[in-house]
Amino acid sequence: MTFDGPAGAGSAPPGRGAEPADDAPALPAPCLMLVTDRHAFPSYRAGVELLDAIHRLWPDDFAWREAPYEFVSDRPAIDLLAGGPECREAIESGKGLQDWIAGWQADEEAFREERREILLYPEEGA
């Protein structure tokens, strides 16, 4: 099983291995993802990259959940889960996720700084 992510085809993100699942149908072929290092594995990024890959590979079969999610019906569930429409819009545009993902580090640093004064315990590694 290969990973067609930002590091290139055939590479796996840190902390992850994959193997074919038993009794897999011909298409699409499910796989079992084995997280070997939860601190190194970028789980959120892997999830959105999987959504993007599925959207690219099977655009006619792909659809966002339309039913209400968590009692919210005025926007797609993915927008609630991703914190806004940016993930969905990046996937739907077909331009890839790189620009959206590139902004994460600055957003994470701003969030860490904002919450620093209210933490009960110091952040690990800080």
Mean pLDDT of 10-29: 54
50 and 25, same domain (yes or no): no
Average pLDDT, the chain: 81
Which two three-digit tokens encode residue 17? 């291995």
51 and 101, same domain (yes or no): yes
23 and 78, same domain (yes or no): no
35 and 57, same domain (yes or no): no
79 and 36, same domain (yes or no): no
Domain span at residue 59?
42-126
88 and 117, same domain (yes or no): yes
Element holding 54 (H helix, E strand): helix 43-57
pLDDT attached to residue 123: 78
Which two three-digit tokens encode residue 52? 């993007």
Res 72 pLDDT > 80: yes
26 and 60, same domain (yes or no): no
87 and 126, same domain (yes or no): yes
72 and 91, same domain (yes or no): yes
From CA 111, how far away is CA 106, in angstroms rounded? Answer: 9
Domain tally for the chain? 2
Per-residue pLDDT band at 22 (split at 50, 70, 90): low
Q: Which residues are CB-neighbours of 78 under 8 A, at least 6 positions away?
A: 51, 64, 65, 87, 88
13 and 70, same domain (yes or no): no
61 and 86, same domain (yes or no): yes
17 and 75, same domain (yes or no): no
